[in-house]
Chains A and B, each alone.
Chain A
Amino acid sequence: MSQPSSVEEKLDHLQHHFIDSDQQFEASKLGMWIFLVTEILFFGGLFAAYIVYRAWYPELYLLASEELDVFWGTVNTFVLIGSSLTVAMAIRSAQLNQIRGLIINLWITIGLALTFMVIKYFEYVEKFEKGILPGAHYSYEGIAHEKANIFFSIYYMMTGLHGIHVLIGIGLMIWLVFKAKKKVFHSGYYTPVEITGLYWHLVDVIWIFLFPLLYLID
């Protein structure tokens, strides 16, 4: 008589072209790291633009960053770091077979990500009402610098692209919640949680640089 199936290792997830779960997990993670490298270089182009223009117009950055609210920038930094913690907790729950904890941590992360986007929304609206719009649509008179629109073009491109990444992350985590509710994940297979976690932490790392570079210029 064979043992009951609960004792056997669950291998539904294992694709036929991998030797075992570990090899499949490591291959997925390597693929994700290669994607993250392209993400770093993707944002890197915008950081390069930021640096070039800051070297050309240092006084513009000092003036224009006063329009950004340090308080809300700081709150959003705390919110994103908190969400990185809950993602790490979600992965830990999956590793320990605590599927309820996994789902709870994913929901908290989604909540924090939405909080970040709501704060960003109010920051954008406040600027739009003043006429601080990107590029040629810029019509705000409050900054005594002829290139003021350039700072805000860079600001909107960097925070906008980052915001799109946050929205994609929210979508991915909702997908993870559905998968977790279908009992797809367990301690032997949680690759999508791990991979999404890596993505989410990178989004956090990019904000860690955006915050001082945009908000904290004296």
Chain B
Amino acid sequence: MSGHHISSAKFLWGVAISLFFLTFLTVAVTWIHIPEPWNVVVAITIAAIKATIVAAFFMNLWWDSKFNVMLFLMSILFFLLLVGITLLDTLYRVDPVPSF
């Protein structure tokens, strides 16, 4: 069954070690002061890779039903719609809300 994948202990440790390494990397890149806006791009890219590793190999989406994968991807899509449409307003205001 798709829902009963059993990962080996070695594999789970490997996943955790790769996440620890990427955490170290995301801190280490702040020491070399990458110029704006690339520092944000690098930080978000590393976070997205880490999130993908967790979702695929800890949350078992890699072996899971495609429908659950679709649910996860759709939530990200709708989040990006929320941000995108909001920014179309807030980025182009002449005067941001004065009292905020």
- A residues at B contact (CB < 8 Å): 22, 25-26, 29-30, 33-34, 36-37, 40-41, 44-45, 47-48, 51-52, 55-56, 58, 70, 74, 77-78, 81-82, 84-85, 87-89, 92, 95-96, 150, 194, 197-198, 201-202, 204-205, 208-209, 211-213, 216-218
Contact = CB atoms under 8 A, between A and B. Distances in A.
Contact of A30 (B7, B19, B68, B83): B68
Contact of B82 (A48, A82, A197): A48
B75 A81 contact: no
Given A48-B82, A85-B15, 8 more contacts: A36-B72, A44-B75, A44-B78, A52-B90, A70-B27, A205-B54, A212-B26, A218-B34
Nearest to B52: A205
Contact of B23 (A37, A77, A87, A202): A77
Contacts of B27: 70, 74, 216
Interface residues of B, number: 50
A34 B71 contact: yes
Interface in B74-97: 74-76, 78-79, 82-83, 86-87, 90-91, 96
Nearest to A61: B40
B95 to A, nearest CB: 11
Nearest to A210: B47
Contact of B47 (A29, A40, A209): A209
5 contacts: A22-B1, A30-B65, A34-B71, A41-B78, A88-B15
A208 B54 contact: yes
Nearest to B76: A40
B87 A30 contact: no
- Nearest first, the 7 A-B pairs at minimum CB distance are A212-B43, A85-B16, A44-B79, A37-B75, A40-B75, A33-B68, A81-B19
A37 B23 CA distance: 25
Interface in B1-25: 1-4, 6-7, 9, 12-13, 15-16, 19-20, 23
B10 to A, nearest CB: 11
Contacts of A33: 68, 71-72
Contact of A88 (B20, B36, B58, B87): B58
A38 B95 CA distance: 33
B30 A218 contact: yes
